[in-house]
Structure 1
């Protein structure tokens, strides 16, 4: 099948980047936001400001599977058009809402929009790309989302210096993406439910496993990934680094290296089956985290974190490619919804899972525990690859 036109590919990448923007954009505004609501008499305003940041995850977890299934049933593009409008309205609500309850509710609504956009974009990628072309584009999607997260975080920080409400204006950018969706994705060649783009893959990327297993791996991946933004500042401080700017640069290394690594996903997948790429990614991810746990200087921790980023960059494209190759075309949206829910469940449980380890043995032990989990998962995936019938081979 011919590769979709550049405008179609660009639109799918831009839609994917909106999902990352949902959280990263307002992170720098949390301290002044907390001060604002504290001045209005809100108890524990710092806690509630963090809830504002994470509230979209609630909407995503609750609706992603249903949103994907609805896209399978009535078409992905109409839902994406409506979701882009909701994204702009709910996302920018912080510009004018002045109550914590309504603000949190608007963020949950934003999560619904993200669920539709993420399942729609990834479902369309599954519909229109196959084999190695899909592998390469999934890597490009992961890279685009990774770099986008850094850009949105930086832009949000610059706007937060003007006013805590200013970063919410960035969500209005979805209206530009709305125009691109309407112009480029409404063509039958890009979105037809019955066209060749919906054909089922003939060669699965890995063993045919219950999708729930891949959802669990997505949760594990992001639960361990979120150790870095939640615990790395404390690890660096214990190593003697007290400069917040340098600490932020070090922490940003993980998503930056991950995004760059994702660009190499296609060539890697051309040589290895999806389970082996996943296992290799987990092995590197875990080795880096174990190095962070053992590091004696901030520089050493930085280097080990970069190694983790290489492995992390291969994990999510692998899960998406593997999942899309084993589910029927008519259930792609539902399956991607489950994978998306798994990602955000992992984000939600990350601080809860690490809290008892940190309380009992400290931050290094939390990184070491995550490394062990990733190592065990890598070994289990290799064993699964060799034990199940019809092990995956690189697609032609």
Structure 2
């Protein structure tokens, strides 16, 4: 069997396994938002259904609910059955469930297919996270965790743009975009090799489960809670920004597209710098810088008087979120023993989508009581406290290095 360790002779973006895993990462953003531009047309298409308005709006978050519920189980299956099988099965299920909306006869059936799509995403994300930990170590692992955030951002931008064009032709046509995942399967089939269950990989952490941090379970719980809170905060943008802009008198559809587009572009570019920033300042420094940028962005939103400040806020929030996101995966893979990387990836994946699901539930009452300025201003203060905590941890790590 070929070595599972990243070779030094070529950059990581030329490594076939890395490319295959990045292609898998690009599918995760595609899962939810691809059909967003088609929702009005889908509602009109099934206007005879008395629940059309509700079911249509549930089509986008439906996969998130499945991921949140199923990801830990997918992680256990990944550890016990194998990473390669789970990844390939997830991509094949992704194609079938995603494209099902092309032919399914009614909205309840399409909604059910979206729930199945979430199961596919859970399999893909947990297997992908475990494989990153199995294949790569140290600097190579950090590089790939940053690149996968870029893949999600840029992939989402491409797929949503394609869906917007397809929706002008037919409200069902955006479902065909999920079929693009089938083009990724040949490379994944060839490049993805199942890591050994016993022994150790040359230059990598042992796969027999005796590696990892002694207190990895407790530390992973804290990491998962932090990631859930971070995603709850970040998801204020896609869930509330259009209503905020409408309340401010903007042409909400156009401005929302611009703001969310900048959010993705900023995040994609910021994540490309993750490895360099992490090598320079460490994980605590990355959290301090990332949360600081997000705090600035939400502060600008709370006081947004011009379109320029809105766009600057989107740039800051997107960049900050894309900096902190890879660290959750990288730290979790450092903490968890090799035998439990699938479980760790599954729990991390669930926390992302639980945070997304809870975001509008938590923010809507706050908006009713304090308005958008109060919500965004309070969020900025919370992020500022998180920045201070990360900065103190950063200072302690620097002091420990010097001593």
TM-score over 0.5 for the pair: yes
Instruction: Report deviation, 1:240.
Output: 3.6
Aligned with 2:28 (options 16, 19, 23): 19
Bigger mean CA offset, 291-300 vs 262-271:
291-300
Q: Indicate yes or no: 2:117 matched with 1:110.
A: yes
Other-structure match for 1:129? 136
Q: Structure 1, residues 247-285: CA drift from partner, whole Å, max 9, x if none? A: 311222112101110111001110222123112211111
Q: Out of 82, 86, 107, which is 1:79 matched to?
A: 86
Given candidates 93, 108, 125, the residue that maps to 1:101 is 108
Offset of residue 65 of structure 1:
1.0
Matched, 1:40 2:48: yes
Contact 2:211 2:337 in 1 (8 A): no
Of 262, 270, 295, the match for 1:253: 262
Post-superposition Cα deviations, 1:16-37, rounded to whole Å, max 9, x if no partner, equal: 1111110121111111111222
- Gapped regions of structure 2 (runs ≥ 5): none
**Who is 2:371 aligned against?**
362
Deviations along 1:64-115, whole A, 9 cap, x unmatched?
Answer: 1111121111210011222222111111111111222221111111111100
* Separation of aligned partners in 2, 1:94 and 1:307: 36
Tell me the CA shift for residue 245 of structure 1. Answer: 2.2
Give the direction of change, closer, same or farther, for the CA distance of 1:111–1:22 in structure 2 (3 Å limit). same
Q: Specify which of 319, 324, 335 is matched with residue 344 of structure 2.
A: 335
SS at match of 2:281: coil
Is 1:301 matched up with 2:310? yes
Aligned residue pair count: 386
Task: Please say if 1:215 is aligned against 2:224.
Answer: yes
Corresponding residue for residue 171 of structure 2: 164
Quick one: structure 1 residues 68 and 35, their matched pair in 2 at CA, closer, same or farther if it must change by over 3 Å? same
Moved more, 317-326 or 5-14: 5-14
Contact kept in structure 2, 1:274 and 1:392, CA below 8 Å? no
CA change 1:277–1:170 in 2 (3 A) is same
Q: 1:167-186 maps to which residues of 2 (within 5 A)?
A: 167-186=174-193
Indicate the residue corresponding to 2:196 in structure 1. Answer: 192
* Cα RMSD after superposing both structures: 2.5
User: 5 Å matches for 1:149-160?
Assistant: 149-160=156-167
What is the rounded CA distance, in whole Å, between the counterparts of 2:310 and 2:180 in structure 1? Answer: 36
The 8 Å contact of residues 245 and 255 in structure 2, kept in 1 or not, is answered as: no
Cα distance in 1 for residues equivalent to 2:256 and 2:182: 34
Cα distance in 2 for residues equivalent to 1:175 and 1:84: 7
Structure 2 residue aligned with 1:143: 150
TM-score (norm 2): 0.89
1:200-233 deviation per Cα after TM superposition (whole angstroms, max 9, x unaligned): 79898xx995211111122112111111122222
Give, in angstroms, the shift of residue 392 of structure 1: 9.3
Q: Offset of 1:345 from its aligned partner?
A: 0.5
